[in-house]
Amino acid sequence: MFTGHIAGLGTSAGVRIVVGSWHRSPFGAFTDVMVQQPDERRVLLAPTDAVADFVATTYHFDSVEVGPVAATLGTDRLTVRSAALDLDVGIGGPAPLDRLLRLVPGRLATAPWWLRTIDPVASRLVRGVRTAGTAGGGRREYYGVRRSRRLTSAAGRYRDADLGALRPLWPPVAFGFASAPPTPQLVSVTTTIIDAG
């Protein structure tokens, strides 16, 4: 079980980014970044070999880079630093479905049976989004989102190239069975990954 935050955004440079900032996981607290480049190559930035091995066997990447990845999450800003990526993101108020998400009790919101049940509804409400599906290695994966806030700005560099301004995360990223929402946002989430067998 991984508990923390996921930020998904696009940029005017064509780089699409999904940041996972986890404060509780089987690997302790860590941050990883999934990048889909304008040429559609999928790159994982992971802080350790153990995290890289697990994430790369759960999702799909064209290359994996291991090295320090740090994130700082404040009330109105997320910053991410790594050898390849410098990213500063502004965080605003509630995203469109935040009020609906808050109506679901916490334990129910992260229960796999519930996430399987609501998956068809979630995928119709938000393009590209799924709450349950099959991950790499025959694993089953469940996304239990409890809160969602809008991202209001983005600035930074990826491989020494300017990322430009914040844009929708579109087309969807192709790391796994689901994408982050097209509207840039930061979600509070518990991700449950169950091994096959």
160 pLDDT higher than 70: yes
Is the peptide bond preceding residue 171 cis, with omega within 30 degrees of 0?
yes
Give the other-Cβ count within 10 Å of 68's Cβ. Answer: 11
Backbone angles phi, psi at 179, to 5 degrees: -115, 165
Region 24-31: mean pLDDT is 97
Query: If you count them, how many residues does the chain have?
Result: 197
What does the pLDDT look like over 97-143, one tens digit per residue? Answer: 899 899 999 899 999 999 999 999 888 888 888 999 998 878 999 99
What's the confidence (pLDDT) of residue 195?
A: 86
Per the confidence metrics, is the pTM higher than 0.85?
A: yes
Cα separation, 117 vs 80, in Å, equals: 34
